[in-house]
Amino acid sequence: MRLGVLTSGGDCSGLNAAIRAVARQTAARGGELIGFEDAWRGVLERAWVPVTVEYCRGLLPRGGTVLGTSRITPYQEEGDLDLARAVRDELDLDGFVVIGGNGSLACAARLTTDGIPCIGIPKTIDNDIGLTEHSIGFDTAVHVAAAAIDRLHTTAEAHDRVLVVEVMGRHAGHVAVRAGLAGGATLTLVPERPFVLDDVIAAIERRHRAGRYATVVAVAEGALPAAGTWEIPEPEIDRFGHARLGGVGAALGAEIERRTGYETRVTVLGYVQRGGTPTAFDRVLATRLGLAAVDAAYDGAWGSMMALQADRIVRVSLAEATEAQATVPEELLDAAAAFFP
């Protein structure tokens, strides 16, 4: 079998570990693997490299993706889909292993329907892909954010300050909730539960009255105030139609300081959460998903996504997995809220 592999959408830690596992299993099953540069750009521009076991030496702990990534898909320009089919035929590929987030995997489902067979591997620090309990990169991001919150506590205490830390999480607050719980954030604000600014202010003031002058507020970039309670600036839209988030932390910090008079500082963790060495959990997950993806291709299970459910790797439908955003379960949201002052 000849397979193509690509990493698509925003990067995260663990992508190289997944590429390595796909290469290893393809070789073990007697197949050949071709890696496309910068996702579908590499297909459309015929930029590819043979991905052998040798090519993958040393990749397991490396952050980023050796193949590069982009948000380009064969649906953006007229004729791209035909070009992608032509490239597949030229290279005699049986199909593609797409390592992607929600958008890239929804695209892989559509491509499968349009005659370009794909298998999906879920990756995103946001962990918002359906039917899998974890996506590659999420655990690493939580570790980075929790470690940052630990550090912010000590400086907040030294200065008696409020520290707002904005973490990634576009539609779901998985990173904020887990890092907030692990790091002992005072308040955690997420897209799943729109917040009321007055309640946030009141909670911080209660805490001060009780003699706790340092407060850490963890806020997901996609957190929103409840309708009609407070307006924050609309985000810019990038050329792929994605809102460029980031800004709620700064707006919140300014408002907390203005209304309480307490010194407030804001830290935006941003891309630190997506870079660097993956945790052991992410390396193992990426390896298991990568091996399973190749087996699925050999079984002809095109249109499926490899998923983690109850610590087993299972095959689910790409279309179903990408239909709904996987939000934070109520029990975890309640756990984070249990520590509100």
Residues 122-141 that bind ligand F6P (CB under 6 A): 124-126
Report how far residue 125's alpha carbon sits from residue 103's, in angstroms, rounded to the nearest whole number.
Answer: 14
Binding residue for ligand F6P, selected from 245, 252, 307, 328, defined by CB under 6 A: 245
334 is catalytic: no
**Residue 191 near residue 171 (C-beta atoms within 8 A):** yes
At 325, the amino acid letter reads Q
User: Any idea which residue has 């700064």 for tokens?
Assistant: 250
Instruction: Kindly write out the interface string for residues 274-313 of this chain, putting x where it contacts ligand F6P by CB under 6 A and - elsewhere.
Output: x---------------------------------------
170 binds ligand F6P (CB under 6 A): yes
Encoded tokens for 277:
């060495």
Q: How far is the CB of 196 from ligand F6P (least distance, A)?
A: 24
Q: Which is nearer to ligand F6P, 134 or 170 (CB)?
A: 170
**Residue 142 near residue 182 (C-beta atoms within 8 A):** yes
Residues 204-243 that bind ligand F6P (CB under 6 A): 221
Q: Of the residues 126, 128, 139, 282, which is catalytic?
A: 126
DSSP letters, 32-87, are EEEEETTTHHHHHTT-EEE--TTTTTT-TT--S-TT---S--TTSSTTHHHHHHHH
Please give the size of the binding site for ligand F6P, defined by CB under 6 A. Answer: 11
Report how far residue 177's alpha carbon sits from residue 53's, in angstroms, rounded to the nearest whole number.
Answer: 38
Q: Which is nearer to ligand F6P, 143 or 170 (CB)?
A: 170
Q: How far is the CB of 140 from ligand F6P (least distance, A)?
A: 12
Q: How far is the CB of 158 from ligand F6P (least distance, A)?
A: 30
Residues 6+ apart with CB under 8 A from 300: none
Report how far residue 222's alpha carbon sits from residue 3's, in angstroms, rounded to the nearest whole number.
Answer: 36
168 binds ligand F6P (CB under 6 A): yes
Which residues of the chain form contacts with ligand F6P (CB under 6 A)? 10, 101, 124-126, 168-170, 221, 245, 274
